Structures are given as structure tokens and as C-alpha cells.
Structure 1
């Protein structure tokens, strides 16, 4: 089980502690949402629980419930901010399942008809673009 234990020094743990920067869009007592630095589409946002959870299988049921409430809130803001036709919501578990950061997180990506997702390994986005996208989402959530 050692390889599946939660490591608090993962990048999202560091973001939660303020040790690494992030373009934040939403926060409450249970979750934090911020821009994905390797977006698969404009407005690609991550929602993470503040509770230490490696993935879906080790998270407490209460953590999952508050996480999904946060995902729904953020998804509404993301959809509005980018006038999206729809949303892609996904979550990976363990390396074989595609997980690369071992802190539970949900991807929220606004989608336009006919526009494919980019590869996640496509490189880091321009920080100024991420900041502008974060501002659009925060404004949508405030209205």
C-alpha cells in the first residue's frame, strides 16, 4: 500500500498550503478550484478537495459530496464564462487510469460543438491567458 498512500507534498497539496501559485477561480471551506496549467481547452479548470485524498477510492464520502457540490458550482461558472455548448467533466485514478497528480481532482472543461480537446501534454499555457480565463470565471460566478 505504500505506493498508494497520500503524499502531502504533491503539487496540489502545495497549492492548498500556498507554497505554489495557482490562478484560483473559486474557494470555500471544502474545495479549491483553479486553472489547469496544461489546458485541454479554453477555461480548463480543476476542482480539488481540501481534505487529503489521493483519489476516488480513498476519499471519505463526505469529501466526495462536498467536492461534487464544488464541481457543480464551478461548472456553471465555467460554462457561462466561455459561452460553452457543453462541458466535459472527468476524473482519473492512479497512473494506469491516467492520474498524474495524486491528489483527488476533477477536470471541468467548457466545450464548443466541433472543437476537439487538445492533448494534456501539449505544454504549459501562458500565465497571462490563464489569469484572464480565471477572471472570466470569477466574474461569471459572481453574477
Structure 2
């Protein structure tokens, strides 16, 4: 059986003697300390604060002295943190959604889209300026007022 499965004889014997599934997953590697252990509380805190980008988390702990590569952080995030609930609150709209709200004429938006755009623009003055400039440019194009462009 060990030969057919490509496993060691002791592994096959341990599996055959196991009475519960938990007994199958015992081994030295499961409780071994890793270099990431010291940084896990920080990673957990940052995850709860809303930072869910594994690369960004790796960069942050690298600056704090984490000596290993990105893959360990990525694995920890995907196996452990992705199952934990993220902080509540609405997600910010995507760039595509904001573009879809800014580019058409304001009257062409649904009431829901108008409310979302208003909330988004209230939270970001740069987007407010962008929306104003886009609307001014559209007004010039539709009214054929190119002669009013600054020289």
C-alpha cells in the first residue's frame, strides 16, 4: 500500500491507526515556530483596520525587520486572515463605477447612482474637482463653445 500511494510505511501505519481526522494531521511542522509569528499580531491588526493587500502588509513588516519573502505573508493572509471578517462599513466604489457616474449627463443617472456619486464626491475633493471639469468640458463640446477655451 505504501508503494502504491508513494508514501512512507510509518505514514501509512499512522493513518491506519487514526480514529479521528484530527489524528491524521499531527506532526512536527504544525507547531513549529516561524519567523512570521512575531509579526502576526501586527498583520491581524492591520487586517482589521482594512488593509487586505498581502503585498502591502509584507512591505510594512519588511520595514519592521521581517527577514523572509512575500510568499509566507501571502500564504498567511490567504489561509488565515481571508476567513476572518473584515471591518464593517461600505466598500468604496471602484474607479469604473465612479467613472460611470461622472461621464454621463447628471440627468441620465438613476436616483441610486446620483446618491452614490454625491456621497463619493463629498468624501473626495479631488473627485469633486474632476467631476466639475468633466461637466464643464462636456458643456463646451455640446454647446460648441470651443472659442471660449483659454489661449
Question: Into which bin does the TM-score normalised by the smaller protein fall?
Answer: under 0.3
Work out which of the two has the higher radius of gyration on C-alpha atoms and give 1 or 2: 2
**TM-score (normalised: structure 1):** 0.24
TM (normalized to structure 2)?
Answer: 0.23
- Which one scores higher on RCO, CA 8 angstroms, separation ≥ 6? 1
Greater percentage in helix? 2
Higher share in strand:
1
